[in-house]
Amino acid sequence: MTSRHVDIDPDGDTLIILPRITAEGDDKNEPSQVMFKTSMKHLTLASIRAKKVLQGCFSEAIPQVSDGLRH
């Protein structure tokens, strides 16, 4: 699986992973997902839903042991 990484906030603590939907005839060398590294603080300021998810009892609120980021 190939990924494309976009650092919105290089010091961010949150990783947003979006799958890329492919269609017939798409280039097979295109990444299958895009990962955005961003800040939980900015997400919670911009979105009430993000605040509830990232500060609640959801799995997205817990940093991963492997990299210390929220996924």
Tens digit of each residue's pLDDT (9 = 90 or more) over 20-43: 777 666 667 777 889 999 998 899
Q: What is the pLDDT of residue 48?
A: 93
Task: Assess whether pLDDT exceeds 80 at residue 1.
Answer: no
Instruction: Return the H-helix or E-strand segment holding 49.
Output: helix 48-54
Q: How far apart are CA 39 and CA 13, in angstroms?
A: 5
Structure tokens at 62: 């817990």
Cα angle vertex 43, ends 49, 69, to 5°? Answer: 105
Residue 30 is assigned to a structural domain of this protein: yes
Task: Assess whether pLDDT exceeds 80 at residue 45.
Answer: yes
What mean pLDDT do residues 8-20 have? 89
Domain hosting residue 7, numbered range: 3-61
Residue 66 is assigned to a structural domain of this protein: no
Contact in structure between 44 and 50 (CB atoms under 8 Å): yes
Q: Give the three-class secondary structure for 34.
A: strand
Residue 68 is assigned to a structural domain of this protein: no
Residue 69 is assigned to a structural domain of this protein: no
Residue 71 is assigned to a structural domain of this protein: no
Total tally of structural domains belonging to the chain:
1
